[in-house]
Amino acid sequence: MYTKYRKHFLDAFKKSDVFYATFPHHVEIVTHWAEKLCDTHPEADRKAVIIAALFHDIGHFINVNGEDHAVVSEREAIKFLKKEGESDELINKVAHAVRAHRNSDVKPQTIEAKILTFSDSASHITAPDVYLYLAAGKYGKKSALEKIERDYRDLLLFPEEKKKLEGIYVAWKDVVNTFPEDFYPYIRKNEERSKNHNK
């Protein structure tokens, strides 16, 4: 059912000069979390949530001169969904969820947006590599620790799920704080190898 949306994201990812070692599997982990939350919150529009999950980060891979990726992703989702003849109701749900997924200048107001915001943050916490790649990158350990805190904050949208992830949150803080920085060059080399392998 979601093949064309998944393909659109993957096509943008493959064509882009932008590379993150955590993609495209990040989008699959977000989608997994979104499916789980839709199972426990049947009032949510599952189709809108899953499409939003597939589009929420596409803006990273479209050349837009430094514009916020959430803004670009929202615009791309609207354009694609209109082309596909989707209803205004679905488009509006997807657009808001995509735009609000960072929970910064735009806050998630709908159940669909809250599920996507939680799923994005939970995906970082449950992925094997996000925080170490971030710590080893140009913004360093401080940036990774700040992201862990932002992600944990977003889990408050679903307190029952947040409680289940508390131990992983604590463990990631400990890993980032104690991971030997002399190994960071190896992490960066692995990212570079992955980039060259995928292009």
pLDDT, tens digit (0-9, with 9 covering 90-100), for 101-149: 999 999 999 999 999 999 999 999 999 989 999 999 888 999 999 999 9
Question: What SS3 state is found at 81?
Answer: helix
Specify the pTM.
0.93
Q: Which residues of 53-67 are buried (b: 16+ CB within 10 A; e: fewer)?
A: bbbbbbbbbbeeeee
Q: Which of 114-123, 126-135, 173-182, 186-195 has the lowest mean pLDDT?
A: 186-195
Residue 22, CA distances (Å) to 27, 29, 85, 92, 105 in order: 9, 10, 32, 28, 25
